[in-house]
């Protein structure tokens, strides 16, 4: 198996990049999160890879971090989730956000990813429970149950998860959901 590739980035054609390694150009499918983090063409890059051998093709998938690759490998083990869908999930959310969604069993966050419906999201949550641990990228800011409701309310109101998590940090411990939402909205308005 090809586990890592280091070479010169010669082309970006989303979602595929081409990396030249000693005269051989490897076409590698990458999630958008990895694509955005790549340098300009001509720069040296290293990608963690996962090789899929099929009857009609050898497909190489690349990731900027080992935790992204590990999450991809866990995602493709879920029935009904193929490599394209796994790339879409990793393009739509970071490994930490995916881990948090699984930990908190929040299917709504997964259904925002194109190609993930309600049933697929619920199956993904069920089959991946406990699989994305600290070694893969568990979020350092896991949210308690009451704050999860506040977080969901803020996201439903249109705030990004990053903004919502920052607002949660300003709340006093043990705040009720309604007071927490009100205080978080005030913090976000500043």
Domain ranges of the chain: 4-63, 80-128, 146-189
pLDDT at 141 > cutoff 70? no
pLDDT band at 142 (very low <50, low <70, confident <90, very high): very low
- Mean pLDDT over residues 62-84, rounded? 93
Distances (CA, A) of 75 to 23, 34, 120, 169: 33, 17, 12, 30
Highest average pLDDT, of 6-20, 143-157, 172-186, comes from 6-20
Please give the CATH topology (third level) of the domain spanning 80-128: DNA polymerase; domain 1 (1.10.150)
Q: What's the fold here for domain 4-63?
A: OB fold (Dihydrolipoamide Acetyltransferase, E2P) (2.40.50)
Hey, which CATH number is domain 146-189, 1.10.8, 1.10.10, 3.30.420, 3.40.50?
A: 1.10.8
161, 155 contact by CB (below 8 A): yes
pLDDT at 84: 92
Which position has the higher pLDDT, 128 or 190?
128
């Amino acid at each position: 198996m090809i586990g890592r590739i280091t070479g010169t980035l010669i082309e970006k054609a989303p979602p595929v990049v081409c990396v030249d390694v000693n005269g051989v150009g490897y076409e590698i499918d990458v999630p958008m999160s990895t694509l955005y983090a790549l340098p300009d063409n001509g720069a040296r890059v290293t990608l963690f890879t996962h090789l899929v051998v099929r009857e009609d093709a050898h497909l190489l998938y690349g990731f900027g971090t080992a935790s992204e690759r590990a999450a991809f490998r866990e995602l493709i083990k879920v029935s009904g989730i193929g490599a394209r869908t796994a790339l879409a999930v990793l393009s739509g959310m970071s490994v930490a956000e995916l881990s948090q969604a699984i930990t908190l069993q929040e299917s709504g966050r997964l259904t925002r990813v194109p190609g993930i419906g309600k049933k697929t999201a619920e199956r993904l949550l069920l089959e991946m429970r406990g699989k994305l641990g600290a070694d893969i990228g568990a979020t350092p800011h896991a949210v308690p149950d009451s704050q999860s409701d506040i977080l969901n309310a803020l996201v439903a109101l249109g705030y990004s998860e990053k903004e919502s998590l920052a607002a949660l940090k300003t709340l006093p411990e043990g705040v009720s959901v309604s007071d927490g939402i009100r205080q978080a909205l005030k913090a976000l308005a500043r």
